[in-house]
Amino acid sequence: MSAVVDTVTPEGPLVSIRDLKVHFPITSGIVFQAKVGAVRAVDGLSFDIRRGETLGLVGESGCGKSTTGRAILRLEKLTGGQVLYEGSDLARLRGKALRRQRRRMQMIFQDPYASLNSRMTLGHIVGEPLLVHNLRRREERVDRVRELLNLVGINPNTINRYPHEFSGGQRQRIGIARALAVEPNFIVCDEPISALDVSIRAQIINLLQELQQRLGLTYLFIAHDLSVVRHISDRVAVMYLGRVVELAPNAELYETPMHPYTQALLSAVPIPDPVVEERRRAIVLTGDVPSPASPPSGCHFHTRCPAAQDGLCDIEDPVLRQVRPDHYAACHLIHDEDYPHIRSAEDVASSTQTRPNGNGGGPA
C-alpha cells in the first residue's frame, strides 16, 4: 500500500504508519497454550498524519480504531508494520529509548473515570510525567503543575485533591493536563468526549482546538460520532474491519464520499430537517460486521457492499489509492481516470434493487 505518500507538507509527515498490523492471538489450553487463531483488529494500515493537522478516524464499533491509536503509541504489541515518527521507527524501540520517545506522543483517554489514578492527587497525577522525565527541578514542579491545570481550565488550588472530587468533564481536563505535561507534539484522542455529558462535550472540543492552536499540536482524533469528527478534523480516515477504506480532506469526504461504505455510513447520520429527512433514502447495510477473527476474502466489505461484484471484490484485495487529488479510497469499483463512478447516496441505494447479481446485499 505504498500508494499513500504524502507530498503536501515539505518536511514530510509527523507520523507515518506503514502496513500496521495488530493481531490478538486466540489461544486454548491452560498450561500449554496453543494458538488457534487471531483476531485481526488492525490488518494492514498505511496513512500519514501531517504536522499540525487533526486526522479524524471513524468507523463502527470493533473496526480497530482504538487499537490503531494504541498501537501507534505502542500500547499494543505490533504484529507487523512500522510507525514512523519524524522518520524514525517507533516499532523497534524498547526500554529506555521507547520511554524517552514517549515524551513526544501522548493520549487522551475515553473514560475520564478510569484514566486517573484514584489514589493520587492532581499534583501527583500531572506532576508525575515531569518527575519521570526530569523536566523540572523539584521546586519548580509545583509551579508547572499549576500552570498546566490553569491551561486546561482547572483551578490550580485544587492541586492536592483527588480525582473523585471532580466531575467527568473536569477529569477529562485533568487527563489533558497530564498529557500536556511532557510537551508532546502528537496526541491521540481516543473518543475523548463519548463518555461525557452532551452539555460538556463542546467545552472539551473547544479546549482541544484552542490547545492545538496555542501549542501547535497534531491530533489523531478517534470517534464514532461523525458530526464531531467533521467539526474538528482537517482530514478524515474511515476504517472498516481493520483497514482504512477511505481517507480524504474533511469537506471532500463529507460531500463526495467515494467508497460505498463511507456513503452508507454518512447516509446513516440523521439530518435535522424533517423535509430533507423524509425525502432522502438512507443506505441501510444488512447483516453484521463480520468477525475480525475470520475477515472476508478480498475486500473486507464485499459481504455487505450494495455494489459488490462477484469474481472481483471477493477475491482481490483493494489497495488504498489516490482517486482524486488528496483523496484516497480502497475500492475496485472506483475508476480514478475520469471519476465516472462518483455516486450519490441515492444512486447506490437504487442499485441495491436493480443490481444484476443478487449477491451483494445479504449477510454472507
Residues that bind another protein (CB under 8 A): 30-31, 33, 70, 73, 75, 99-100, 102-103, 105-107, 109-111, 113-120, 128-129, 132-133, 150, 153-155, 157-162, 164-170, 175, 178-179, 181-182, 197, 199-200, 203, 206-207
Toward another protein, which CB reaches closer, 9 or 27? 27
Tell me how far apart the alpha carbons of residues 337 and 323 are, in angstroms, rounded to a whole number.
8
Nearer CB in complex with another protein: 99/281: 99
Closest approach, Cβ 131 to another protein, in A, equals 9
**Pick 197 or 288: Cβ nearer another protein:** 197
Joined together, the cell numbers standing for residue 152 give: 486546561
**Smallest distance, Å, CB 148 to another protein?**
13
CB of 115 to another protein, least distance (A): 4
Signed CA dihedral, 224, 229, 233, 235: sign only: positive
Q: Which is nearer to another protein, 192 or 298 (CB)?
A: 192
| Rounded CA separation 297/294 (Å) | 9
- The minimum distance between CB 94 and another protein, in angstroms, equals 12
Nearer to another protein, 175 or 306 (CB): 175
Q: Where are the alpha helices (DSSP H) in 48-167?
A: 65-72, 95-101, 122-132, 138-151
The per-type count for the chain, helices as H runs and strands as E runs, is 11, 12
| Residue 160 C-beta: closest distance to another protein, Å | 5
User: In the complex with another protein, which residue's Cβ is closer, 103 or 355?
Assistant: 103
Neighbours of 174 (CB within 10 A): 24
Which three cell numbers mark 316? Answer: 482481490
The Cα–Cα gap between 121 and 275 comes to 52
CB 322 → another protein: shortest distance, Å?
Answer: 33
Cβ partners under 8 Å of residue 257, min gap 6: 246, 263, 265, 266
CA atoms within 13 A on the CB side of 68: 38
